[in-house]
Amino acid sequence: MMLFLPSLLTGLTTGTLSYWLVILILIVNFIFIMALIFMERADPRSTISWILVLILIPILGFIVYLFIGQTVYRSHQFKLKKKDDDKLLATQNEVIRLLKAKEKEGKSDEEIEIYQMSEAFMKAGGSFYTEDNDVELFTEGEKKFSRMFEDLRNAKKFIHIEYYIIRNDKLSNEFMDILIEKVKEGVEVRLMIDAIGNNKGPKKRLAEFEKAGGEFTTFHKIITVFLSPKKNNRNHRKIAVIDGTIGYVGGFNIGDEYLGKGPLGFWRDSAVRVEGIGVYTMNLRFMMDWEYASHKELPLDTKYYPLIAPKTGRNKKMQLISGGPDTIRNPIQTEYLKLINTAKKTIYLHTPYLIPDPTIRDALILAGYSGVDVRIIMPNKPDHPFVYWAGLAFAGQLIKDGSVRVYNYNRGFVHSKTMVVDGKYCSVGSANFDERSLKLNFETNAVVYSEEIGKEMVDAFMDDLKYCTEYTEEMYDNRNLWLRFKMGISRLAAGLL
């Protein structure tokens, strides 16, 4: 009897401890669920998804939530960035006043519509309206990088570069050669890459660049990123400014794959080159991000904002629109909604990732109901499988009643993030039509008000359709069980963002 007593007591103790441990876990889990509901200011849909995760897998779910889901830390962290940005954005009130004056003096309904749209974007925050610009559109990497590298080689005063990814390959090494040479010539060169985007970057060349006197920083530090929720807040912007007179913005990163030399084959992307006052807004965007990432201030003087005299032919109106987790309502979401709701005839858009939030999804469907020709081109192959499957699921929602048409691009990979409305309102930039771009990432688009650029974008879109297969309701309904499962899991995962 005495021999069995220790094991009996051990069993009772173990059982009691297990019981109280389970109770403790359930109480703590309940507290976290309540905190998620009442403290977090997240989208209700993602809140519900996270509550399900916490209920179904209490311990692991909470660890995952702390790692990628919570937003309290994120909102506190970016309050500081927003405060600094707001100081520089204060001048937008004067621009809004001028836009109101122009609206009253508008000579046509189209002019008035442009001014009203621009004012709406500026009130949403993170945007600047300018006139007297020359804008050049690129839809392939070879032409874009050839022109940009030529501009970099001709730089005389400074170069400011902000990219999500710079690879370690032939194109990126040519890029680094140029930057190092310009530093040696006495040109100020500042280079900023996202911490995660720099994971496979040209480390040795970057060290060589800094040794030559170039300034380099990552947007967030890699150690901080892995230990905090900021890993979800990536700087996805692609901006280059040369001497304050030439600027680039778009979807291309820097690497051989963006020339079509990667595993996905031909690379369809978009970017614009700007000369004129619009370059000021690109440089200001860079400087705000640079100060946040590097903790180094740059003066707002004519060294970085040289006087640009008006020139004949520079007649394009444009607006740089930036969004991110440092904004209360994402200006890029406002941009997309306003463009869609303005459409009277056509909406043509490219996106590699089609995971729209309900407001954008419903706006696209409503535009289709109203007789607008709404067409979307997306890839027919994944670079990120879960995102691709989720995209197919959302495409199915859009095409169900025939109001929106979706096409799969077969020529290679479509990475372009563009929308052209009625052949005259054009958006080109880094922001995808997915919730990551609209909620988590730092993004920048250029909106160009131009029938000339609009025609180029429409023509390019129509040419792309030659390499597409329409994704029909019949194809969506005939999915096999395995594809349905993958799409369902991917949609659930998308809801956790």
Active-site hit among 415, 424, 439, 486:
415
Q: What is the DSSP letter of 187?
A: -
Do residues 217 and 238 make contact, with C-beta atoms less than 8 angstroms apart?
A: no
Structure tokens at 483: 């594809």
369 SS3 class: helix
* 171 membership: H or E segment, kind and range: helix 170-184
Is 289 considered catalytic here? no
Distance CA 257, CA 236 (A): 17
Active site residue 417: yes
CB 103 within 8 A of CB 112: yes
> Which of 422, 439, 464, 486 is the catalytic position?
422
Catalytic, 422? Answer yes
Are 319 and 446 in contact, with CB atoms under 8 Å apart? yes
User: In the beta sheet, which residues pair with residue 418?
Assistant: 350, 428
CB 34 within 8 A of CB 63: no
Catalytic residue among 417, 424, 439, 486: 417
H-state helical runs in 185-300: 203-212, 222-226, 278-294
Q: How far is CA 142 from CA 150, 174, 256, in A?
A: 12, 13, 10
Q: Choose, from 151, 169, 194, 243, the residue flagged as catalytic.
A: 243
Catalytic residue among 236, 317, 338, 486: 236
Annotated catalytic residue 415: yes
CB neighbours of 29 closer than 8 A, spacing ≥ 6? Answer: 54, 55, 58, 62
Using alpha carbons, list the distances in angstroms from residue 493 to 141, 361, 380.
Answer: 32, 18, 21
**Which long-range CB contacts under 8 A does 452-457 form with residues at least 24 apart?**
452/316, 453/135, 453/137, 453/272, 453/316, 453/426, 454/420, 454/422, 454/423, 454/424, 454/425, 454/426, 455/423, 456/137, 457/137, 457/348, 457/418, 457/420, 457/426, 457/428
Which residues are tagged catalytic? 236, 238, 243, 415, 417, 422
